[in-house]
Structure 1
Amino acid sequence: MSDYQLLSSKINEGVKAAIAQALDRHRRLGESIAVWRDGEVVILPPDQIPVMDDQLRAE
């Protein structure tokens, strides 16, 4: 694996972990999130925020 691929992989892992943590935080605090779905903005209440992989949230 090249240095570029290794760095890219680490960046992707970090971004995924940050997203998972942000979603978890919104869910725990009872805050809605906005997502893009079928060409429009949709507001998801906390109980509809998807749970991401436990491994990603733990990082």
Structure 2
Amino acid sequence: MSESESEDEILDRIEAALRKIGSLSKPAGGDGLDRAALAEGLDHVITRLRAALDTVPPPETTE
């Protein structure tokens, strides 16, 4: 993710990633999905995103 990406582009990337994750929840074949491992991985990603957002200064308002 680069500094030049707009908020819409970032949201599009997040949406695409979530769609890809969602497609994993539909097992193809006899092997089931390890939902516990997936949930743990998602929790880890969410924790990292929250930590990154905490370091971002609030946007400047022009009033």
TM-score by length of 2: 0.40
Which structure has greater strand proportion? 1
TM-score by length of 1: 0.42
Query: Whose radius of gyration is greater, 1 or 2?
Result: 2
Q: Which has the higher contact order (CA 8 A, sep 6+)?
A: 1
